[in-house]
Amino acid sequence: MQKQIFIVGNWKMNLSFQEGINLVSGINNFLVASYKKHSDNLQTPKILACPPSVYIAKIVDVLRRDYDYNYKDDYDLLHIGAQDCHYEKCGAYTGDVSADMLAEIGAKYVIIGHSERRQYHAETNGIIRKKALAAKQAGLIPIICVGETLQQYQANQTEIVLQQQVKQSLPPEFCKDDFILAYEPVWAIGTGKIPQVEEISATHKFLAKQIPAGSAILYGGSVKPDNACDILALQDVHGVLVGGASLKVDSFNGIISAAVDVLRNCGE
């Protein structure tokens, strides 16, 4: 059986609304064209964009209008996720957005515990676990992020840090289809530095042992079209979480092409 590959764009707090709409159309038009070209391809990567939450409702409207969002067709187009949610369903939490609200406007996934949330919003593993549970209860798939800092990496503490983050932020009752794990070394995010592919491979193998068998594990941190193929071809890597390179049609579509190639090569 071929592996599933996820390509997830994390826009962070970037792009004007109109730029976001143009990006979404540019990705979807590329997907329609490339899936028609490779109609023999048995499996296609699953593509997600995670825009700022204020854009989601309108983007979903555009996808429904122009591409029949729900995608009951024979190929799968762009899916939409959010970048964070609150762990409560509703209440006095000024400025926050609940998982139910995101689901109601058409999001299907939500990134939880990104290192920027951990750093700038003091999110702990315990908070992240509650958010992941709230996401599942709302019918969303949480993409739970873990990763070591440069200092921890240099002190050879990567595995111990990841083990603890996974243990404390993944709800113990979760099965493999309830979540996606994203391994993002903090020192690789937005820096252009990435671990050696052998290191990524070893770390993903290690992470696979900490979570239910068959769960998807993404790599994130400075993924670009020219390194995506080598990373996606690794056995325990089931996709990539992309920041900077997800903001431009050409670079994001370049990463999608790498995933299509990897799946075609696996299938041959």
- By C-beta, is 141 or 223 nearer to ligand PGA? 223
Cα distance between residue 57 and residue 229, in whole Å:
32
At 51, which amino acid appears? P
If binding is defined by CB under 6 A, does position 243 make contact with ligand PGA?
yes
Burial of 196: CB neighbours in 10 Å, binned 0-12, 13-18, 19+ = exposed
Choice from 222, 228, 256, 260 touching ligand PGA (CB under 6 A): 222
Whose tokens are 């079209």? That residue is 225
If binding is defined by CB under 6 A, does position 244 make contact with ligand PGA?
yes
Helix (H, G, I), strand (E, B) or coil at 77: coil
- Is-catalytic flag, 184? yes
- By C-beta, is 191 or 265 nearer to ligand PGA? 191
The residue among 155, 156, 153 whose CA lies nearest residue 191 is 153
Active-site entry in 86, 148, 184, 238:
184
Tell me the closest approach of the beta carbon of residue 142 to ligand PGA, in angstroms.
15
Residues 21-50 that bind ligand PGA (CB under 6 A): none
- Residues 6 or more apart whose CB falls under 8 angstroms from that of 255 comprise 7, 223, 224, 225, 228, 240, 242, 245, 246
- By C-beta, is 106 or 220 nearer to ligand PGA? 220
Choice from 190, 212, 214, 267 touching ligand PGA (CB under 6 A): 190
Q: How far apart are the first and last CA of the chain?
A: 12
- CB neighbour burial string for 120-136, b if at least 16 within 10 angstroms, e if fewer: eeebebebbbbbbbbbb
If binding is defined by CB under 6 A, does position 189 make contact with ligand PGA?
yes
Cα distance between residue 28 and residue 22, in whole Å:
10
Q: Which of the ranges 42-50, 63-71, 134-142, 242-250 carries the binding residues for ligand PGA, by CB under 6 A? A: 242-250
- By C-beta, is 20 or 243 nearer to ligand PGA? 243
If binding is defined by CB under 6 A, does position 251 make contact with ligand PGA?
no
- By C-beta, is 195 or 244 nearer to ligand PGA? 244
Tell me the closest approach of the beta carbon of residue 61 to ligand PGA, in angstroms.
26
Q: Which of the ranges 74-82, 173-181, 205-213, 215-223 carries the binding residues for ligand PGA, by CB under 6 A? A: 215-223
If binding is defined by CB under 6 A, does position 210 make contact with ligand PGA?
no
At 266, which amino acid appears? C
If binding is defined by CB under 6 A, does position 185 make contact with ligand PGA?
no
- Is-catalytic flag, 114? yes
Query: Which segments of the chain does DSSP mark as H helices, in order?
Result: 17-37, 53-67, 99-104, 115-120, 125-137, 150-154, 158-169, 197-210, 225-232, 249-267
Q: Name the residues that contact ligand PGA, by CB under 6 A.
A: 10, 184, 189-190, 220-223, 241-245
Residues annotated as part of the active site: 114, 184
